[in-house]
Amino acid sequence: MSLLIIIPAFNEEGRVGKVVRDVKRSLPQADVLVVNDASSDGTAAEATAAGAITVTLPVNAGYGAALQTGYKFGVRNGYSIVGQIDADGQHKAEYLVEMLSALEAQNVDVVIGSRFLDRDGHYQPSLARAVGIGLFARIASLITRQHISDPTSGLQLMRINVASFFCSEVYPTDYPDADILILLHRTGFQIREVPVQMLPSPGDSMHAGHRSLYYVYKMLLSIFVTMLRPRPRPAP
């Protein structure tokens, strides 16, 4: 079993190295790939120094495009499990260990680290963010007929056939969210959430592209057209 952890990073100098070392400490068997989304600082050098494989996008392409680059790398280099973690230090890599055992033990294809599942209130997002996440968590839960609490989570682990599915044009290259979970469900992949603790985002992360009103509009439209499209078939 070979494992690849993808860290999409945009201007994360001073944080990305720590995340890489954190992942390597928790999962010594994993390869770590930092996808540098045309950062203007020393993100790539810091990632390489910390022992990560780095790929650098020549121009800034956004969170989804950076993640998809990682999936393509994973598929082409024959990894069997692909994970992702944010570069800003919001996630603790130790939860990837639990998520890995959840993925291996159960008959699931995708494991998502949820910051709301254990309901201990450790994570307090801003009101607008909480309303947005809550709305799409509710919609995703209704459509997939299973409890989804954190569709926005950037802490995920998946089997390679899911990553391979994400390498096609089904994947949104701006910011994947509840729409992609609904797409996975419609394709027949099994999703499981695992409770994790997250620190509040230090702010200027790649997720900050969620300009609230546009985000709500885009996600509603995306979910709507996802439901209108025929059910996709996963790549063989």
Partner 1 sequence: MISTNLRIIAIAGSLALLLFIIELVRRRRLKEEYSVLWVTTAIVVLLLAAWGGLLHDVTHVLGAISQASTLYFFGLIFVIFLLLHFSVRVSNLERRVVAMIQEIALLSANRPNEGANDRPGYEQEGSAP
By CB under 8 A, name the binding residues for partner 1.
Answer: 21, 35, 44, 48-59, 61, 65, 68-69, 72-73, 76, 169, 173
Closest approach, Cβ 172 to partner 1, in A, equals 11
The number of residues making up the chain comes to 236
- 57 or 102: CB nearest partner 1: 57
DSSP state of 93: T
Closest approach, Cβ 63 to partner 1, in A, equals 12
Which residue spans within the chain are E strands per DSSP? 3-9, 31-36, 53-56, 81-84, 110-114, 156-159, 191-195
- 49 or 225: CB nearest partner 1: 49
Name the token pair of 219: 């996600």
Beta strands 31-36; 110-114: pairing state? unpaired
- Phi and psi dihedrals of 64, rounded to 5? -65, -40
Q: Roughly how many angstroms between the first and final C-alpha of the chain, as a whole number?
A: 19
Calpha distance 10→92 (Å, rounded): 19
Closest approach, Cβ 217 to partner 1, in A, equals 16
Closest approach, Cβ 57 to partner 1, in A, equals 5
Q: Compute CA distances 41 → 14, 35, 47, 113, whole Å.
A: 10, 14, 12, 29
- 50 or 137: CB nearest partner 1: 50
Closest approach, Cβ 51 to partner 1, in A, equals 5
Amino acid identity of residue 96, one-letter, is L
DSSP state of 220: H
Half-sphere exposure of 236 (CA within 13 A, CB side): 0
- 10 or 116: CB nearest partner 1: 10
Calpha distance 140→203 (Å, rounded): 25
Closest approach, Cβ 132 to partner 1, in A, equals 25
Closest approach, Cβ 25 to partner 1, in A, equals 11
- 4 or 140: CB nearest partner 1: 4
